[in-house]
Amino acid sequence: MTDRAIRNLEHLRRTASTARVLNLLKVYDEHGDTEDWGERPMFRTAALNRCLIIKHRLRRNETDAFPGRRQVATKIVVPIDSTDLKTGGRFIFVNQIGFERAMQEAFGVDAEHPDLKTLRLMDQLPSLDPFLLREQLRRGGVDAAPCYFALSEADLERMLEFVQKEIEPLVTLSVGDGVVAAGSTARMASKILSNAPGDRLEALRLTLKLEPEQYQEGVFCWKGFLYYKWALSSLMADIVHVADEVGTVKPVGPSDQAAKDYIARGRAVLRGRIMKTCEEVSRTLRYYDDAYAALTREGNPLAFRDFLLEAPALFTRLGDQLGAVQHIVSFWRFRFNPKAPPIGVDELIDVFMDFETGLMGREADAYDPRDAA
């Protein structure tokens, strides 16, 4: 199908957040001639390895494309013209009704092709942030090259000031009692955040006592914790706003007692779970803060290095939790903006259920009052 709603993929490429868009065309443009890209592709099918994968908020007319209720889907977009993204793209939703047939027709891959497994691993995730994505694919046996797991340019720009403040104690430590040179913190922040594989700080590697082959992994993990800290801090005002509006939003139209009871229960449960999830993310990030303090306050680089090399397992929990909250904030902005139409009872129940299920993970199914009717 041709996606006329994404008429300007170029704009999407320039402004999209890392968590929402995985731009494999850009990865190909920048790394397609490298040995690593050729030997460790994310997808074996050439067209898939040059597409855009998007976490897409479903419109009301799109929900029937799936066998079950959901608010967000994983969209595969293949540009019509890779040299002119303004022409839009053709798309398929992962796990839509008839997904395997559509993939066979579009890409010539059968139901057992490993690329379908990779796409389904992605579809299980609440976001496409590279730290969560890498761990998910590794668990699924997909060992893609590091070039696939970069932060978007838009997020790098938004993160820079935050990261400068975070690493200032390290820069101060490196110059002893001297005055930090103007621009030195910005330069180090840019180096840490850089997506260029050869853009490394030798002094930083020596400080962390990392072998050259360990450096890339260590800094990737450091970047991950900086990303999650920045993402949480930048979301907090919106999270509080959404939690407050969950308690006051009023649906339109007729409502039976079961629906009224569920919505009343949902207000309290959701507000509590949203804030609890944010507290749990903060608690997990404190492990990083403690290890970083050991480096900057106690002068113990080994503790910080060991933490970075052993901590990728935390990305799964951090990414799942923060991705669920990001989805709630993003969808709320989309559906409850001042220009959006009023929400009906059934749709509000669907939204609450989706949020509740996302925050619970897969521990239990959300209760639907309509199932008892």
Q: Would you say residue 210 lies in a domain?
A: yes
Share of the chain above pLDDT 90, in %: 45
Higher pLDDT: 344 or 85? It is 344
Same domain, 128 and 211: no
205-219, 326-340, 359-373: segment of lowest average pLDDT: 359-373
Share of the chain above pLDDT 70, in %: 86
Kindly state whether residues 206 and 344 are assigned to the same domain. yes
Q: Which of 243, 241, 237, 262 is nearest to 251 (CA)?
A: 262
Q: What is the pLDDT of residue 198?
A: 58
Report the pLDDT value the prediction gives residue 32, as an integer from 0 to 100. Answer: 92
Same domain, 209 and 353: yes
pLDDT of 7 over the 70 cut = no
Task: Note whether 37 and 137 are same-domain residues.
Answer: yes
Task: Note whether 146 and 203 are same-domain residues.
Answer: no
Per-residue pLDDT, averaged over 198-202, amounts to 63
Q: Report the pLDDT value the prediction gives residue 370, as an integer from 0 to 100.
A: 45
**134 or 11: whose pLDDT is higher?**
134
Question: Residue 358: its pLDDT value, please?
Answer: 81
| Residues 15, 133 within the same domain | yes
Angle at 295 between CA 307 and CA 131, to 5 degrees: 35
Cβ partners under 8 Å of residue 346, min gap 6: 259, 370
Would you say residue 61 has pLDDT above 80? yes
- The verdict on residue 322 lying in a domain is yes
One domain for residues 234 and 335: yes
Q: What is the mean pLDDT of residues 338-359?
A: 89
- The structure tokens listed for 231 are 């993402």
Q: Is residue 218 part of a domain?
A: yes
Structure tokens at 154: 């838009």
Q: Are residues 239 and 138 in the same domain?
A: no
Q: Which of 117-131, 181-195, 292-306 has the lowest mean pLDDT?
A: 181-195
Structural domain contains residue 170? no
Using 50, 70 and 90 to split pLDDT, how confident is the model at 301? confident
Q: What is the mean pLDDT of residues 338-363?
A: 83
**Would you state the pLDDT for residue 369?**
42
What pLDDT is attached to residue 251? 93
Residue type, 45: T
Secondary structure of residue 46 in the 3-state scheme: coil
Residue that the structure tokens 């379908």 belong to? 116
Does the pLDDT of residue 300 top 70, yes or no? Answer: yes
Closest to 244 (Cα-Cα) out of 219, 265, 275, 223: 275
- The rounded radius of gyration (Å) of the Cα atoms in the chain is 22
Model confidence at 372, pLDDT cuts 50, 70, 90, reads very low
d(Cα 271, Cα 186) in Å, to the nearest integer? 38
Domain boundary among 151, 172, 189: 151
Asked if the structure places residue 165 within a domain, the reply is: no
Given pLDDT bands bounded at 50, 70 and 90, which one contains residue 46? very high
16 versus 358: which is more confidently predicted?
358
* Residue 95 covered by a domain: yes
Say what the pLDDT of residue 311 is. 83
- 147 and 228: one domain? no
Residue range(s) defining the domain that contains residue 303 = 197-360
Judge if 205 and 273 occupy the same domain.
yes
**Strand runs labelled E in 40-176:** 52-57, 72-79, 89-93
Instruction: Work out how many domains the chain is built from and give that number.
Output: 2
Among 29-43, 102-116, 172-186, name the one with the lowest average pLDDT. Answer: 172-186
Residue 77 counted as domain residue = yes
Q: Of 129, 151, 173, which residue is a domain's last?
A: 151
Domain identity same for 64 and 147? yes
Please tell me the predicted confidence (pLDDT) of residue 6: 46
Which tens digit of pLDDT belongs to each residue from 201-258?
677 777 777 887 788 888 888 899 999 999 999 999 999 999 999 999 999 999 899 9
More confident residue, 116 or 60: 116
Residue 222 lies in a domain: yes
Query: Does the reported pTM lie above 0.85?
Result: no
Mean pLDDT of all residues in the chain? Answer: 84
Determine the pLDDT at residue 219.
83
**Residue 175: its pLDDT value, please?**
57
pLDDT(200) > 90: no
Are residues 236 and 318 both part of a single domain?
Answer: yes
Q: What is the DSSP letter of 60?
A: G
The whole-number pLDDT of residue 83 equals 60
Confidence of residue 140 (pLDDT cuts 50, 70, 90): very high
Range 72-89 average pLDDT: 74
